[in-house]
Each structure stands twice: as structure tokens, then as C-alpha cells.
Amino acid sequence: MSPLRPITEWHLRTRHLSLGSRTLICGVVNITPDSFSDGNLFLVPDKAISHALQLIDEGADILDLGAESTRPESKAGTTAALTTEEEQSRLLPVLEGILKVRPDAIISIDTYKAPTARAALLAGAEIINDVSGFIWDPAMPACCAKAQCGVILMHTRGLPHEWRTQPQLPPDDLLQLVRNGLTESLAIAHAAGIPPEAIVLDPGYGFGKRLNENFSLLAQQSLLLELNRPLLVGLSRKSFLGHTLAPLYAGTPGSPKQRETATIAAHTAAILHGASIIRTHSVRPAIEAALIADAIIAATKNRLDG
């Protein structure tokens, strides 16, 4: 366990967020027909807006809106991906609807496409969450630099349709792969003129990491703090958690809804290994996990300081 996550200010488009003193919670709103956990539940704008407002009421510090699924086997990152026109037609009415009711809401946009990022930032988004870490669309870094927005750079190994056939990696090799990928993304951001204070990193659990590889990465996650940027993690309802629960469900992976308790355990571990932000489908349980993990971190710091 590393209690030494950085205490810093995250510079967003129009404001700052304090990171490190307590864990922040980022609530997920998937405006998609095919996301692995809640596809088609919030495709209708009114339902997505209502759900987003509920997450805020439950205590979410940030909302992360996504309109294209990046589940395994999806076409994300390829020429067959969702068009920017369709992505924006799903996304923008929800973004605008949330901000009409809650103008102070801090909204992140889960997209790797510069045209969508540009439209969302103009409509009031504060953060761009690029699951490709500025790799899939070369226009994205300049877009974010011009808007002076907050950025989440995630590590992805390959493309979603390749993930199920990728070879397993030894734990040390996987950590080095993630570290190298995030270092490359940071270099791209720096070259575009994006200041470090605008950047948060995401190890990319489940994105090209197969089953138990994710646990190896989680066990070593605190080493990524050596890149000198805060960490956001997305572990909520991930399939590797379900596979670990298989003995409880007659040898089959637990469904996304059956992974909620495992998600709480994973969130607690991630915070104790240096995460400053948790991205989750279920906000209230994540807040409870964060309160306990933050109390452990505070007690550890007090012991070390004393």
C-alpha cells in the first residue's frame, strides 16, 4: 500500500479540483445501446439526464458521459466505429440537459474523437477522457490544448476487437507496458502544449488486460505514481471481477449487477494503492468505500508523521 498519492490541483477548463486530500467519485453515464453493464438503459436523453442528476444527488464529484461503447469486440478505434455525428446526437442533448438543471456540474466526456470533444467542450464540458491516451485520433491533443480543459489519459493495449486474442503478459512486463504507454501519452500531451496540471492518468483496467493481469496491475498500481500525475481508476463491474466470482455462481462469471460487492473491494484496494479518483456506475457504495480507504490513508500518514 502507498499512502503517498499526490496532493495537487487538477486544472480544468474553467475551474480547479483538489486531488489527493480525499478520493473523488466520478459517476458513469453510458448513453449507448451496447455497453457491457448498462447498455440501452440510458439511451433516451431524458432517462440519461435523470440518471445523471441522481448520481450528483448521491454525491458524485464528476460525471463521465460516454456515447460509444468500448467493450471487448466493439469497433471503437477502427474505421467501422460509431460516426462522430451519431456520437454527438446521443451525447450533446444529455450534456446540455444536465447543465441546464445543474450549471455547476463538472462533466467529463468519454471520447477519443476530436470533433466530439470540441463540440462537447463548447457545450460546457470541463474534461476530456480519452481511452486511447491520445493515440487513436491525432487531432485530439491540439483540441484539448486549445480548450485548456482537463484531460484523462488512459492506457489501452491494442484495439477492443483484438483484446480476447492477445497473449498473456508476465506481471512485470505488463506494468512496464502500461508505464511506457502512459509515458508516451504524456509526451504527446506535452508536445501539444497541455500542462501537466491538466492531466490525470488511468491505467486502463480491462482495456487489453486479460483477467488476472488486472490484479497484477492493481497490486503494482502505486508504482505508476512515479509518473508524477494523479491516478483515476475504472474498476466498476469489470469482467475480471466476475470471473473471480465464478465459484459462487456455479462456475460462470457473475453478471455485472452481481459484481457490486467485488467492485467495492476493488475500489478500496485501488485507493490504498494510490488512486485519487474512482470511476463508477454506483456512486453511494463507492463513496462509502472511499471514506474507509481515506481513513486508513490518513491513519497511515499520521503514524509516519508521528
Give 39-96 pLDDT, tens digit per residue.
567 779 999 999 999 999 999 999 999 999 887 766 676 766 789 999 999 999 999 9
The cell 466476475 sits on which residue? 242
- Mean pLDDT, the chain, integer: 93
Query: Is residue 160 pLDDT above 70, yes or no?
Result: yes
pLDDT of residue 2: 46
Asked if pLDDT for residue 201 goes beyond 70, the answer is yes
Lowest mean pLDDT among 98-107, 216-225, 251-260: 251-260
pTM score, whole prediction: 0.94
**pLDDT band, very low/low/confident/very high, at 1 (cuts 50, 70, 90):** very low
Handedness of CA 27, 33, 34, 37 (dihedral sign): positive
C-alpha 173: how far from its chain's center?
23
> Which phi-psi region, left, alpha or beta, contains residue 275 (left: φ > 0; alpha: ψ -120 to 50)?
beta
The whole-angstrom separation of Cα 7 and Cα 183 is 21
pLDDT in tens, 229-259: 999 999 999 999 999 999 999 999 888 999 9
The residues, any chain, with a CB within 8 Å of residue 295's CB and separated by 6 or more, are: none
pLDDT at 36: 62
Q: Which three cell numbers stand for residue 48?
A: 440519461
Return d(Cα 28, Cα 23) in angstroms, integer.
16
Q: For the chain, what percent of residues have pLDDT higher than 90?
A: 81
Average of per-residue pLDDT across 213-222: 97
Distance CA 171, CA 110 (A): 28
Dump strand ranges (E) for the chain: 8-11, 16-19, 24-30, 62-66, 107-110, 127-130, 150-154, 199-202, 231-234, 275-280
255 conformational bin, left if phi > 0, alpha if psi -120 to 50, beta if neither: beta
d(CA 130, CA 155): 9
- The DSSP annotation for 155-198 comes to ---S-GGGGGGSPP--HHHHHHHHHHHHHHHHHHHHHHT--GGG
Radius of gyration of the chain (CA): 18
When mean pLDDT is compared across 10-14, 135-139, 253-257, 284-288, the lowest value belongs to 253-257
| Alpha-carbon gap, residue 239 to 68, rounded angstroms | 18
Question: What are 29's three cell numbers?
Answer: 453515464
Tell me the per-residue pLDDT of 271-299, one tens digit each, with 9 for 90 and over: 999 999 999 999 999 999 999 999 999 99
* Integer Cα distance of 80 and 238 in angstroms: 25
| Sign of CA pseudo-dihedral 60, 295, 254, 170 | positive
Say whether pLDDT at 137 is over 80: yes
Strand partners, 110: 66, 129
Residue 251 and residue 263: Cα distance in Å, rounded?
A: 19
At 297, which amino acid appears? I
Tell me what pLDDT residue 37 has: 64
Indicate the SS3 state at residue 276. strand
Please give the span between the terminal C-alpha atoms of the chain, in angstroms, as a whole number.
Answer: 18
125 band by pLDDT with thresholds 50, 70 and 90:
very high
- What pLDDT is stored for residue 306 in this prediction? 72
Q: Which residues pair with 151 in a beta bridge?
A: 128, 199
Catalytic site residues? Answer: 238, 279
CATH class of the domain comprising 8-305? alpha beta
